[in-house]
């Protein structure tokens, strides 16, 4: 048993000041009270619910910043040219490499206040495209990385079958491919079996995109979904994708989903950048979730999601770091908001009620839909009987010291950065303090060795 006493704890109804959180030996919250417990650790900070990273491709962290050399007028510099660089990297990574890269990435996430990550995982097979004897070999390396760093992992083994609408997979996609629904089922079962050995891992389901899986298989996987199990899919990220879908199905991607599957609150549509009003309204009506990755979407030149309109219809959204060009939740939230401000010429894009509290509403929505993306309950930030997961903001920062609690969420979201974070608590234990993961030295050592072997950054 242990307890922490914070200057403030954020709840759905605002801040509780000078509050003590007690946890059991497994890090489960047993009590939240205004009375300081004997031997409680005094924490000079304000505790927010840990951030949820609802979309990650761990291996892409190895190439962050390496696709920015553009010879003007010589070659394409769009999403599709970036994808070629990504494919080339995917062909080189061994299981040991994968674990080292993911461990470094997840440590960075924890340092920046993420306590949960949904891993959109499609790097399944060996370098020749042959499945490992352990079908979940690469997925298990992600589980091991999560265990090392303490982060909660929702592994989403991805069904990736085609190279495009009605076309065979290419040579560079060979490590991703499950040839049919039955093969994908076996991959999921293998992942579920391995996950029983890792206390921090849950399993979701995922389809790479409409272009990457045939129609009958998509219908099958939609019915395969269990209650409260998250379903993740890339959708409508690129204009070419929409044009190709119109040519193949005669419908836009989200339009096709609305007409074909039972779209509900278990579905998480990643990016959904280019939607018409019918599609936007349909997602909100069916209570499906959108996962937005503003730093990656900006980096790739995808476009800007119609967030303001979506929120007016009580649409649900979360954030993810995708290609990990940034691993800062404050930056994701600000980019998301500022993109809307720039196209609407208004400043209240996160406000969904009469409070006018943009920062609080951003934290709340990203957390609630983010928790759904993990397949977890999302009714209470800090709930007795649930693990204690928090990101703690340093109360000694000059701006924080000078701010009343009613302005704290806005100050944190709109001025926050990595050095604002005093530390991150997962399962009731500190996993990072003062900007450093507690296992960082060992993790960095393995990561550096891996990057030297891969030589992709040289």
Catalytic positions are 271, 322
CB atoms within 10 A of CB 441: 9
**HEC assignment per residue over 264-302:** CCCEEEEECCCCCHHHHHHHHHCCCEEEECHHHHHHHCC
Cα 343 to Cα 335: distance, rounded to the nearest angstrom:
12
Cα 405 to Cα 39: distance, rounded to the nearest angstrom:
26
| Residues listed for the chain | 458
Cα 221 to Cα 165: distance, rounded to the nearest angstrom:
18
Q: Which helix (H) or strand (E) holds 91?
A: none
Cα 380 to Cα 230: distance, rounded to the nearest angstrom:
19
Dihedral (C-alpha) 441, 397, 151, 237: value to the nearest 10 degrees? -110
CA 214 to chain centre: 26
Cα 306 to Cα 280: distance, rounded to the nearest angstrom:
8
Residue with tokens 């394409």: 76
Cα 369 to Cα 290: distance, rounded to the nearest angstrom:
8
Nearest partner of 362 among 420, 428, 432, 292, judged by Cα: 292
CB atoms within 10 A of CB 108: 21
């Amino acid at each position: 048993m242990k307890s922490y006493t914070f200057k403030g704890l954020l709840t759905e109804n605002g801040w509780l000041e000078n509050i003590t959180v007690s946890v059991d030996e497994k890090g489960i919250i047993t009590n939240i009270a205004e009375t300081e417990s004997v031997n409680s650790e005094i924490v000079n900070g304000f505790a927010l619910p840990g951030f949820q990273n609802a979309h990650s491709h761990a291996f892409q962290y190895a190439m962050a910043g390496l696709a920015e050399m553009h010879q003007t007028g010589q070659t394409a510099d769009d999403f599709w040219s970036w994808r070629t660089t990504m494919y080339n990297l995917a062909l080189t990574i061994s299981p040991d490499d994968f674990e080292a890269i993911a461990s470094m990435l997840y440590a960075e996430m924890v340092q920046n206040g993420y306590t949960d990550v949904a891993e959109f995982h499609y790097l399944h097979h060996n370098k020749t495209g042959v499945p490992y004897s352990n079908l979940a070999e690469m997925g298990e390396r992600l589980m091991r990385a999560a265990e090392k760093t303490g982060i909660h992992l929702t592994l989403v083994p991805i069904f990736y079958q085609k190279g495009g609408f009605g076309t065979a997979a290419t040579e560079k996609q060979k490590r991703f491919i499950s040839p049919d629904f039955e093969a994908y089922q076996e991959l999921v079962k293998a992942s579920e079996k391995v996950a029983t050995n890792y206390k921090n891992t849950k399993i979701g389901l995922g389809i790479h995109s409409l272009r990457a899986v045939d129609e009958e298989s998509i219908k099958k996987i939609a019915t395969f979904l269990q209650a409260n199990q998250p379903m993740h899919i890339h959708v409508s990220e690129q204009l070419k994708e929409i044009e190709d879908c119109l040519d193949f199905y005669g419908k836009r991607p989200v339009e096709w989903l609305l007409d074909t599957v039972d779209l509900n609150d278990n579905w998480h549509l990643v990016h959904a950048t280019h939607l018409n009003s019918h599609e936007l309204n349909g997602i909100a009506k069916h209570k499906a979730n959108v996962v937005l990755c503003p730093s990656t979407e900006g980096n790739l030149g995808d476009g800007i999601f119609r967030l303001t309109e979506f929120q007016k219809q009580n649409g649900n959204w979360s954030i993810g770091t995708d290609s990990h060009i940034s691993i800062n939740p404050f930056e994701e939230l600000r980019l998301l908001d500022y993109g809307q401000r720039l196209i609407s010429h208004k400043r209240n894009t996160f406000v969904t009620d009469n409070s006018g509290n943009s920062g609080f509403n951003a934290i709340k929505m990203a957390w609630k839909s983010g928790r759904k993306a993990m397949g977890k309950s999302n009714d209470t930030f800090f709930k007795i009987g649930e693990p204690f997961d928090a990101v703690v903001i340093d109360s000694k920062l000059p701006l924080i010291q000078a701010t009343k609690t009613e302005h704290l969420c806005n100050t944190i979201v709109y001025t926050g950065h990595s050095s604002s974070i005093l530390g991150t608590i997962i399962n009731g234990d500190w996993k990072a303090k003062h900007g450093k993961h507690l296992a960082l030295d060992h993790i960095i050592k393995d990561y550096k060795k891996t990057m030297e072997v891969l030589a992709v950054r040289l």
